[in-house]
Amino acid sequence: MAKEIVDAMAMQRALTRITYEIIEKNKGVTNLAIVGIKTRGVFIGQRIADRLQQLEGATIPVIPLDITHYRDDDAERAGEKSSFNVDIDNKRIILVDDVLFTGRTIRAALDAIMDNGRPAAVNLAVLVDRGHRELPIRADFVGKNIPTATSEKIRVNMKEFDGQDGIEIR
Ligand SMILES: O=P(O)(O)OC[C@H]1O[C@H](OP(=O)(O)OP(=O)(O)O)[C@H](O)[C@@H]1O
Ligand SMILES: O=c1cc[nH]c(=O)[nH]1
């Protein structure tokens, strides 16, 4: 059975805090670009970009990334590359996803980013870090650390896609 563990208000506050941390770490927003991992990472990335616009008056591009063909368990379609419509050379990339678990999605996303250019830096922002990493990957900005059992599943709901905000465990 699904149980809500983070409500809409708390989720929005976590995203606001991440936005301030991004500004602080980057000493502003110059040269930033957001790469959002489909599906919900794109909506989270867009929310962060909207807040950055409000706070700093800057329009930060949000690049949607589908990592399906970069996964190490998708050998059949490996080699199909995703191409960005924004030049990322020398940009400071904020890579955004909803949940960080084994780290395999982020590893694949880093491959896709490097196929598209040479950014100055890549930082990782996730709404939820649920632990159980299988690779040496960590997030620079974390909305909520939620300890889980491997058998559990975290689900992030976003207004834009799911009709309402919130984080559930099942
Ligand atoms: O760290 P990892 O073990 O790679 O797990 C994290 C990824 O898993 C989820 O996607 P999922 O593949 O469940 O698809 P979904 O986005 O459709 O839920 C989530 O959106 C992350 O992208
Ligand atoms: O619990 C999990 C694990 C991977 N991806 C999710 O969205 N939730």
* Substitution candidate for ligand 2 out of 130, 152, 162 with most atoms within 8 A of CB: 130
pLDDT in tens, the chain (170 residues): 899 999 999 999 999 999 999 999 999 999 999 999 999 999 999 999 999 999 999 999 999 999 998 876 666 666 677 889 999 999 999 999 999 999 999 999 999 999 999 999 999 999 999 999 999 999 999 999 999 999 999 999 999 999 999 999 99
Is any atom of ligand 2 closer than 6 Å to the C-beta of 101?
Answer: yes
- Taking 3-state DSSP, the helix, strand and coil percentages for the chain, each rounded to the nearest 5, stand at 35, 25, 40
Residue whose token pair is 């939620």: 146
> Could you tell me if 49 and 164 are in contact, meaning their C-beta atoms sit under 8 angstroms apart?
no
The ipTM, to two decimals, is: 0.94
> Could you tell me if 156 and 40 are in contact, meaning their C-beta atoms sit under 8 angstroms apart?
yes
- Report the pLDDT value the prediction gives residue 69, as an integer from 0 to 100: 84
Ligand 1, atom 5: closest residue by C-alpha: 101
Helix (H), strand (E) at residue 97: strand 92-100
Residue whose token pair is 């050998």: 75
Ligand 1 cavity residues, CB under 6 Å = 37, 39, 97-105
Q: What fold, for 1-167? A: Rossmann fold (3.40.50)
- Report the pLDDT value the prediction gives residue 76, as an integer from 0 to 100: 65
Q: Where are the domains of the chain?
A: 1-167
